Amino acid sequence: MPCEVKPHFVILYGSQKGQAKSIAEGIAEEAEGHGLVAELSCLNQTEKYNLEKENAPVVFIVSTTGDGEPPDNTLQFVRHIKKKSLAPDHYKHLCYALLALGDTNYANFCNCGKTIDRRLQELGAKQFYMTGYADDGVGLEVVVDPWLEGLWKAIKEALSKMASDQTAHLKGVLEDSAKETPDLSLLDVQLNLLSLTDDQNCGSVKSTVGTDSKNAPAASSSVSAIQTAVSDRRPASPAGGVGMSSESGYVARISASAAETQTRDTGGSHVLLEGSLTCSLPPLSESSLNVPALPPPYLDVSLEDVVSVGQIDGPLNKETLHEVPLSRAVQLTRQDSVKITLLLELDISAYPEIVYQPGDSFDVFCPNNASEVDKMLHRLGLEDKKNHCVRVSLKKDTKKKGAHVPPYIPQNISLIYLLTWCLEIRSVPKKAFLRALVEHTGDGVQRRRLQELCSKQGAADYNQYVRDPSLSILELLTAFPSCSPPLTLLIEHLPKLQSRPYSAASSHLRHPGKLHFVFNVVQLAACSGRPAGSRGLCTGWLFDLINPSLVFPRKAESSSSPALPKIYMSLRANCSFRPPADLSVPFVMVGPGTGVAPFIGFLQQREKERQENPEAGFGETWLFFGCRHRDRDYLFREELEGFESNGTLSHLKVCFSRDDQEEGTTLAVRPRYVQHNLLLHSQRITDILLKQNGYLYVCGDAKNMAKDVNDTLLEMIKTEIQVDQLEAMKRLAKLREEKRYLQDIWG
């Protein structure tokens, strides 16, 4: 009797930082439980799949990066399907479903997924399941979980239909053939149609979970692989944009509901209860749970005591980076300001190949905090082995699809180097990681709470206590003392230590051989899992790195200190967030707080251009700046006022959100935020954008300011040219398409 061949489908992913890949791997791992075989490939692995001839259902999982760009490993595929030479029926044989990952805090939400979706349909491909658009701005799982739940039924129905169509086609061929060749009518041909909707294949994957879920069936949510701290989005200043999500309100409501203090009736008296990272409330604490499947282990890790271990200091790719000294540091805010804002000057004179333009940004490579590394070693019980060599290899019997040793873990490195320069120990734990931690937690109450946090029912608690406060794995382990994970688990689940990007805040024309950048020392607020609060990883490191002798008053000259600290960096050119090439074109800049940084470079360059071309016609320039207090955190005040006085800056519009409150004035008297100032100059700004082909640049906070500015622009367009909301949105979309509405924002 021939062996039964399981029906198969294809999974193709495009991922910049691993989220789409993790979801795709989760689907592949779950396929076997549904009686299916999944063929998993990255979109750049063209030798492993062939869409030109594929007759099985294809599932695409793709993210978007940068300013709506495809991930690096998807770019070639997108270019291929965009070819105008392809016929309209090129993919008429293709049956597909697509899940797009994005972030509404950034421009062109899910643009890569939308591009692939649109182009496949233009080429004749048919969808067998609705497209999902997951928003990391509110939590990918809001869309991913239900999308994955419905995927399996859709795949099976698609396979059944395709088998049925093939059967009908074969019958037709045989009938036609029989008419032409009567002798074939003697053949007894029996075609059996495989049923893909049998009960054994479509059984519920829900399970009731108690304190022991090691053998619990997989929940339909493979989104355990999602990392919500860094979504294929850039963590700091590279260009992005804004958008809207219908799920935003829902997530806000369920999160707020979970956060509310609840009251339980206990025999006439009322006991006030409060939820926390380690304590849940009814109904969650009394619910049956749908937890993700236990991620299959795939690595073998050992520690060896060897005499010499390589790569003892510096980032992994330091050979391709530039090690540059910090030549100056200036505190731009007063001591009584809410935030500490610093300007740092890098001496890049030794690297003539570093040629940057205003609007460019660069990556800073910083190590994990040394005290946190020590705490992690202590938590793992490996303090005495910190200098041992880490050996990592692939398990021979692993069931993980596409398993491989992470490329960011080189051979012959010490354990302390691994935790310092390789793994992002500040990353927010994924749900898959929480699920794996359950198996290494001794206390029953703590096990149950970890199950809740990674379950479908505990999504609101996960957002409130883990995702939203950006809780790190070390903080989580501190809160769950009976959890003792092995080193292997950290290597399997923690992502690569990421660089941190910053915008250039200078022009090389004004400061040859120097590069300036500005940042706030980030303060992470205290929360349920972080009682004392903490500083941001890179900004805290830079602050500690600065020699006190480098910090000068505003007008101080460069330091002559012989022992200058150095950092590793690399330039990341931004070819779109640049001043207009045509000097006669007007442009508007909106940059409150440290968002003003790239515009300092814009204006320094414009000032030099005006000096070198005194007879040229220059377009007018506008800057909308805002901060809390005029006398405490008005960044670059003297320089900006100097630009205005010498004509480099045509219009400087400033506002101070807290001074209004202290002086008892109102918005009618003085605008509080940059969008209020924009409204006061609505006619002039819309005229620049819609009639003079001018440019608008927005830099700063994505979640609040950029959204408010976008909404204000819509209102301005509606009012000034008398159109409805839809038409105003089309006008703004056209500005984006023409690269005349550009954003450099971060969340």
All structural domains of the chain: 8-167 (3.40.50.360), 587-661+668-745 (3.40.50.80)
pLDDT digits (tens, 9 = 90+) for 241-265: 333 333 333 233 333 333 333 444 4
Give residue 114's pLDDT.
94
Lowest mean pLDDT among 184-198, 409-423, 647-661: 184-198
Report pLDDT for 62. Answer: 97
d(CA 449, CA 458): 9
Look at residue 270 in the predicted model and tell me its pLDDT. Answer: 44
Give per-residue burial for 598-612: e unless 16+ CB within 10 Å, then b.
Answer: bbbbbbbbbbebeee
Q: Residue 322: how many CA atoms within 13 Å on its side-chain side?
A: 20
pLDDT bracket for residue 4 (50, 70, 90): low
At residue 378, the pLDDT reads 96
Mean pLDDT of 516-523: 95
Any residues with CB less than 8 A from the CB of 698 and at least 6 apart, and which? 590, 591, 595, 705, 706, 709, 741, 742, 743, 744, 745
Distance CA 13, CA 125 (A): 18
User: Could you report the per-residue pLDDT of 426-475, keeping only the tens digit for each?
Assistant: 999 999 999 999 999 999 999 999 999 999 899 999 999 999 999 999 99
Q: What is the mean pLDDT of residues 551-578?
A: 69
Q: How far apart are CA 596 and CA 499, in angstroms?
A: 22
Q: What is the pTM of this model?
A: 0.75
CA proximity to 701, closest of 588, 595, 574, 576 = 595
More confident residue, 60 or 254: 60
The confidence score (pLDDT) of residue 394 equals: 95
Residue 145: CB partners within 8 Å, gap ≥ 6? Answer: 220, 221, 223, 456, 459
Rounded Cα distance, 357 and 573, in Å: 8
At a CB cut-off of 8 Å and minimum separation 6, what does 402 contact? 25, 28, 40
What per-residue confidence (pLDDT) applies to 251?
33
Q: What is the share, in percent, of the chain residues with pLDDT greater than 90?
A: 63
Nearest by Cα to 36 from 75, 9, 17: 9
Q: Give the mean pLDDT of 579-589.
A: 96
pLDDT of residue 547: 66
Please tell me the predicted confidence (pLDDT) of residue 564: 82
Contact 482, 441 (CB under 8 A): yes
Name the average pLDDT for the chain. 83
Which pLDDT does position 667 carry in this prediction?
A: 46
pLDDT at residue 145 in the model: 86
Whole-angstrom distance, CA of residue 428 vs CA of residue 671? 38
Residue 559: is its pLDDT beyond 70? no
- Dihedral class, residue 387 (left if φ above 0, else alpha if ψ from -120 to 50, else beta): alpha
Report the pLDDT averaged over residues 551-556. 46
User: In this model, does residue 484 exceed pLDDT 60?
Assistant: yes
Return the C-alpha torsion angle 394, 395, 397, 402, nearest 10.
Answer: -30
| H/E run at residue 713 | helix 707-721
Least confident of 90-94, 203-207, 534-538, 571-575: 203-207
Position 167 scores a pLDDT of: 64
Per-residue pLDDT at 573 exceeds 90: no
* pLDDT above 70 coverage of the chain, percent: 80
Q: Report the distance separating Cα 111 and Cα 104, nearest Å.
A: 11
Q: What is the predicted pLDDT for the residue at 169? A: 54
Q: How high is the pLDDT of residue 171? A: 58
pLDDT by residue (tens digit) across 689-719? Answer: 999 999 999 999 887 899 899 999 999 999 9
Vertex 136, ends 375 and 745: CA angle to 5°?
90
pLDDT at 292: 87
- For the cut 90, the answer to whether the pLDDT of residue 647 exceeds it is yes
CB 628 within 8 A of CB 664: no
Q: Which residue has the higher pLDDT, 148 or 309?
A: 148
- pLDDT at position 84, please? 92
How many alpha carbons fall within 13 Å on the CB side of residue 462? 31
- Tens of pLDDT, residues 310-338: 556 889 888 899 999 999 999 999 989 99
How many degrees, rounded to 5, is the angle at CA 551 between CA 546 and CA 555?
150
Q: Cα dihedral sign for 718, 721, 722, 723?
A: negative
User: Helix (H, G, I), strand (E, B), or coil: what is residue 409?
Assistant: coil
User: Is the pLDDT at 35 greater than 70, yes or no?
Assistant: yes
403 falls in which pLDDT band (50, 70, 90)?
Answer: confident
The torsion region of residue 420 among left (phi > 0), alpha (psi -120 to 50) and beta comes to alpha
Both tokens of 309, joined, read 């271990």
Residue 661 has pLDDT above 80, yes or no: no
Residues 6+ apart with CB under 8 A from 462: 431, 434, 453, 454
The predicted structure's pLDDT at residue 257: 35
Written as one letter, the residue type at 93 is H
pLDDT of residue 679: 96
Q: Is the pLDDT of residue 85 over 80?
A: yes
For residue range 347-357, what is the model confidence (pLDDT) as tens digits? 999 999 999 99
